[in-house]
Amino acid sequence: MNSPEPYWNRIGSDWSLIAPPLRPCAEDTVCMERMVRDWYGDPARGSLRAGVLGVTPEIVCMNWPEQARITAFDKEPAMIGYLWPKSGLPHATPLCCNWLSLPIADAGLDVVAGDGSLTQLSFPDEHQGVARELARVVAPGGILVLRLFVPPLERESVDTVFDELRNGRMVNCSAFRWRLLMSLQECPEKGICVGEAWEVWHSRIPSPELLAESLGWPIEAVRVIDRYRSATAVYTFTSLETVRALLEPAFFMTERVVPSYQEGIRYPTVCFRRR
């Protein structure tokens, strides 16, 4: 995976300043809960072996079936340290490991969930590697429930993104950052380095304080983008069609839900079933 630990140290410490849609909101988690519940059905069927790609608190702590035993996988100790709940999760365990080689037996999981997880992987190599690993660990008939970060079909111009920002058409600075990154990515194979995004931001917004004041945003939330400065972490945005092609033939998509919030089409939650 393609992000060095110092960057994730900073992101983990700033988690409280990161807002939806970069992190899931209640609408997203309710959707995931419903997909899991619809698949699981009668609680009398017994235990549920669940995995989470990452330690996103909103997913780890969502309303899982009572019988669920959850293992969350993250390769960054800093993210586990910052985000893992300190109490109240007796049936959940974090594991520090690489998603390309999960410490799980073949067919050892019934459900795997993740929030924007594929965005952290290089394309196509790591995408393909994780798809193979998920096919290995998810039992036949099991499901993947993933919230995706999908770029628009027609690439948005950087000028448009900044015009929308200055005109107050962004719901928050977190939404702006994701739109900026998507607009800067030329193709999934290259992805987009967050350090490059900061350079563009710095050249166009010389005074974040004035911007925050004009939009009524907390300056602390605006300054989260400074974590991108000089960072070498790379994000990758791929289409839903690309994700489907990666996961098939081991999985087939059963559902796609587009949330109702602004630009929700970029953040669908999808369910795939293991053949």
pLDDT in tens, 91-142: 999 999 999 999 999 999 999 999 999 999 999 999 999 999 999 999 999 9
Q: Percent of the chain scored above 90 by pLDDT?
A: 89
Indicate whether 164 and 144 sit together in one domain: no
Q: What is the predicted pLDDT for the residue at 235? A: 97
| Mean predicted confidence (pLDDT) in 218-228 | 94
Question: Rounded mean pLDDT of the chain?
Answer: 94
Indicate whether 189 and 209 sit together in one domain: yes
d(CA 244, CA 171): 29
Candidates 113, 132, 129, 111; CA nearest to 121 is 129
- pLDDT tens profile 144-174: 999 999 999 999 999 999 999 999 999 999 9
Q: What is the predicted pLDDT for the residue at 7? A: 80
Q: What is the predicted pLDDT for the residue at 13? A: 82
Indicate whether 54 and 189 sit together in one domain: no
Indicate whether 244 and 231 sit together in one domain: no
Return the CATH number at 123.
3.40.50.150
Candidates 10, 189, 23; CA nearest to 116 is 23
Residue 5 pLDDT class (50, 70, 90 cuts): low
Q: Is residue 113 within 8 Å of residue 51, measured between CB atoms?
A: yes
Indicate whether 122 and 230 sit together in one domain: no
d(CA 8, CA 240): 26
3-state secondary structure of 239: coil
Cis peptide before 124, with omega less than 30 degrees from 0?
yes
Indicate whether 96 and 118 sit together in one domain: yes
Indicate whether 13 and 138 sit together in one domain: yes
Residue 42 pLDDT class (50, 70, 90 cuts): confident
Question: What pTM, to 2 d.p., does this model score?
Answer: 0.95
Q: What is the predicted pLDDT for the residue at 134? A: 98
Tally of CA atoms within 13 A in the half-sphere of 7 that contains its CB:
18
d(CA 259, CA 25): 10
Domain that holds residue 227: 158-235
For residue 39, pLDDT beyond 90: yes
Sign of CA dihedral 197, 2, 117, 265: positive
* Number of domains within the chain: 2
Instruction: Name every residue whose Cβ is closer than 8 Å to that of residue 218 and which is 6 or more positions away in sequence.
Output: 17, 212
